Structure 1
Amino acid sequence: MADPNNGVMLAYQYVMTNEYGLQLNQPVTQLKKLDERNQIKILAIGKENTKPTKAFLLIGQTGAGKTRLLNAMINYIMKVKFEGNCRYTVKDEIGTMPKTKTESQTEFVTGYLIYQQPGMAVDCNYLIIDTPGLGDTRGSEQQHRIKKQMEVFLTDETFEISELHCLGFVVNGTINRSHAYLKEIVTEFESLFGKDTIKITKILATHTDDDTPAVSKVLDDMNIKADKLYTFDNGVLYCSNQGKKADLSQLQWNILTSSYEEFFEDMLVAKPCSLRLCKEAIKEKMNLERSLLMLKRHIDNKVKALLQCRNKRKLYEEYYTAMRCNEEFEGEETITVKERFPINGRFTHAHNCPICEQTCVYPCTSWSSAFCRCPSGEEPCDFCPCSKNGHEKEGETIESRQEKRHITNEQMRDKYEEAKTNLQNMEELMETLQKETDHHSKQMAIYIKTIVSHIERINEIARNPNRKATEDYLSELISNVKETMVMGTSDASDQHYITEMLDALPEQIDQIVLEVTSKKTSISDRFKAMTSYAKHNLNPFGRSGQ
């Protein structure tokens, strides 16, 4: 139906009449894309056509006025007049739970694809993408959820977003001092994008009609990289156009219209920025996270293997001494217990070996081939001797923990006789366990290499890379392993042994990192040098178990 204000042929439905007598209408939308799991949707407004499309992505803090900005853009595009009695409003994608004023009212990442129609103020299609507000009272968990949504939206080919014309950071124009938490939030989300998006980044300051608001200095102090600052006072959008204040409101409306004219004129000639670097930056960060997790598993498994080696030697020696003295024997042995845990979060599955009863590939995701590391082929797995094709794709990981178990003389005798049958002597048992630790040492070197390469590439292409050094990542990882393993054992001797081994590891890893980063050689030569170092210098760590 035609809008009585401007003659635009657009289907809409009546929502309500506000306190000023203005009729609020909601444009009828058609659902084009929907990801219910990640809460992402694209809605189309108007009749589809083949005109070029300009894409905007709006990011901002909760309470900055993103949704009102989006509504103002739509009203401008629809050429709504101040004197008319109708305004457009889009529905907040608020989910099912009521929100407070300090919580984001938008749960979905929602793209509004507005098809150009006769009578509109623009001559092309616009895709305006609204995102959940950052920094609400639900804290870091909410931030991670929104970041996951953004990663999926920007990388999943389902949504067909290959370029942007504007990356708009929406800020409240009334802030007059730097906020550390706001800078932290913006910095974190800037890290999703490649360096080339700086040229399309715009600051959209709301709640102000001042061309040079106080917020501009705050943004300079916060060092937020942007190409241009626009100011909008969207408060007049749904205000009365009658009465004593009508003239003032008309003036404010004209100023607002001029602001959007400037913005959309700039966007009309804006060159698009490909999301290739953005997709690669997200991919590299995903792979860095994956490599750190795999390295942690190898360190964890190596320490467990060494601990088992040490305790088996001690147990057999104690039994052999008791047997020589013709004494009854009672002791404790260390056994490995396997447990399954469901996978939650951004990663969707793991690959588990049913023969070895362990998780060999995790994390893994089904988003696209760029992120998936599903194993295939008959060659042996990196984690076990079985072929990759023999692994099962499952929604849970298999974790191992060690616990002490009381063992009697009779049980020990059976174990001892079995050991004598299967292995000629204790040294062969130790050699078998040593091979396992050597395997983990080699894999540790491989993952350290990949971690270094991911960090180097992130620093090359990311708009706001995390400047944390490789050693810092690994130090945090080792501390986490130490805390988990020490808490998981009640034996003071074992706790001391675990601490001693892990305290020795950072210095050895630092040497590997130095070998990798200090030489400007080919990847192949760097890898050979590193694996050679691991073979000769990680073994002292392994020999500490003997």
Structure 2
Amino acid sequence: MLADKVQQQITRLTLVTGGQQDDKEILKQRAKHEFSKFHQYKQGLEVRQLNMHIKHRNMADQIQLLTLGKDTIKPTKIILLVGATGTGKTTLINAMVNFIYGVEFSDDFRLILIDDKNAPNRSQAESQTDLITAYAFYNLPGMPFDYNYVLIDTPGFGDTRGIQRDQEMINQLKNFLKQGYGIDQVDCVGFVTAASASRLTQTQRYVYDGLSSMFGKDIKDYIYIMATFADAKPPPVLAALKEALVNYAGYYKFNNSALLASNISIGNDSDSDDEDTTHICKLFWEMGCRSLTKFFKLLGNLSCQSNSNQGSV
């Protein structure tokens, strides 16, 4: 039945395009009907959770590798994402997934990997991700760039469990990079931080120094600032990073409040506050898409960064 629904969508698209199948639209429909399951309705949107396959899991070391699709001979690009608790890393990862599968603001559904509300008994000041997880998305026609995507999600640093927990997570990351999961490189590190941060916290400095010790002094050429909760202005956090003598290769702006925001007033004639809110969210969505397009395009041209102190990643 599910296969029939997907095939009906493909047939419809073929008719609409005069026999030329639209790879991007087909990919999006497969993501909705074949690769995901219903999770909840929110703001008039159908939120669907991707059906990831557990390829490797080691609960003792709290590490795992999840995949979607069939492995390909395409190049693989691997992004390590790190950030303090509360910086919006989980939502950024979900935004990346929607970008990879071509979901647009006007669509009636959104994809998620992680439900950032899945820990109701945990304080918001505690990390909601204790496992280090690599999510591998194997290349399919219609994806924005011609490679396999791997997003490595790490626990949030700086929660209420203190510096000892942060040290454990650094060690956890080192263990992950020695597992031989077929992840033998890291192409870049996404350092997630709030755009409005006026100074670098002790935790952020600790994380940056920890990455430098793992990857060597050249980490500055592979680390990119992912400035979340951003607006149209240059992120104040850039001045904070400069003051703290933290070097990085570039930065990108995101405001992922748009990810699960209602889009139902788009196209309606209205002067209501809801219409204004929807318009602003659409602008934030477009800003995020521009940033992700630039980021993933750049990623395609980067050579990998070896974990010089640990052997191959």
> What TM-score, normalized to structure 2?
0.82
**Partner SS for 1:23:** strand
Q: Tell me, yes or no, if the aligned pair for 1:94 and 1:107 is still in contact at 8 Å.
A: no
CA 16–40 in structure 1, closer or farther in 2 if over 3 Å, else same: same
Q: Does 1:81 align with 2:100?
A: no
Using the alignment, how far apart are the partners of 1:252 and 1:265 within structure 2?
A: 20
Pick the structure with more helix per residue: 1
Contact 2:39 2:47 in 1 (8 A): yes
Matches within 5 A, 1:70-469: 70-92=93-115, 98-157=121-180, 159-210=181-232, 212-243=234-265, 244-245=275-276, 246-275=278-307, 277-279=308-310
Residue identity opposite 2:126 in structure 1: E
> Which deviations, in whole Å up to 9, do the C-alpha atoms of 1:467-507 show, x marking residues without a partner?
xxxxxxxxxxxxxxxxxxxxxxxxxxxxxxxxxxxxxxxxx
Structure 1 vs Structure 2 CA RMSD: 2.4
For 1:79-104, what per-residue CA distance to the aligned partner results, in whole angstroms no more than 9, with x for missing partners? 10111111001135999893110000
**Secondary structure of 2:37 counterpart:** strand
1:13 and 2:13 equivalent? no
State the distance in 2 between where 1:134 and 1:42 align.
21
- Closer, same or farther in 2 for the Cα pair 1:93/1:193, shift >3 Å? farther
Q: Secondary structure at the match of 1:55?
A: strand
Aligned to 2:16: none
Change (3 A) 1:68 1:278: farther
Report which of the two structures shows the higher radius of gyration computed on alpha carbons: 1
Separation of aligned partners in 1, 2:63 and 2:105:
33
Task: Note closer, same or farther for the CA distance 1:147–1:177 as it changes in structure 2 (3 Å cut).
Answer: closer
Q: Aligned-pair distance for 1:28?
A: 0.9
C-alpha distance 144-96 of structure 1, shift in aligned 2 (>3 A)? same
Letter in 2 for 1:160: G
Q: For residue 494 of structure 1, what is the aligned residue in structure 2?
A: none
Structure 1 residue 280 displacement after superposition: 5.2
Distance across 2 between alignment mates of 1:152 and 1:161? 12
Q: For structure 1, which runs of at least 5 residues remain unmatched after alignment?
A: 283-546
Cα distance, 1:118 vs structure 2: 1.9
How high is the sequence identity, in percent, across the aligned residues?
31
> What is the CA deviation profile of residues 89-136 of structure 1, one whole-angstrom value per residue up to 9, with x for unaligned ones?
113599989311000000100000011112222221011000000010
- Are 2:72 and 1:49 equivalent residues in the alignment? yes
Residue type matched to 2:40 in 1? M
SS at match of 1:121: coil
Task: State the SS of the aligned residue for 1:274.
Answer: coil
Structure 2 unaligned segments of length 5 or more: list them. Answer: 10-23, 266-274
The separation in 1 between residues aligned to 2:45 and 2:101, in whole angstroms, is: 16
Go from structure 1 to structure 2 and tell me whether the alpha carbon gap of 1:171 and 1:210 turns closer, same or farther (over 3 Å shift): same
SS of match in other structure, 1:163: coil
Change (3 A) 1:125 1:280: closer
Q: Compute the TM-score of the two structures, normalised by the length of structure 1.
A: 0.48
One-letter code aligned to 2:107: G
Could you give the per-residue CA deviations for residues 29-64 of structure 1, whole angstroms, max 9, x where no partner exists? 111111110110010012332211100000111111
The equivalent of 1:65 in structure 2 is 88
> How far apart in 2 are the matches of 1:141 and 1:195?
24
CA contact (8 A) 2:157 2:203 kept: no
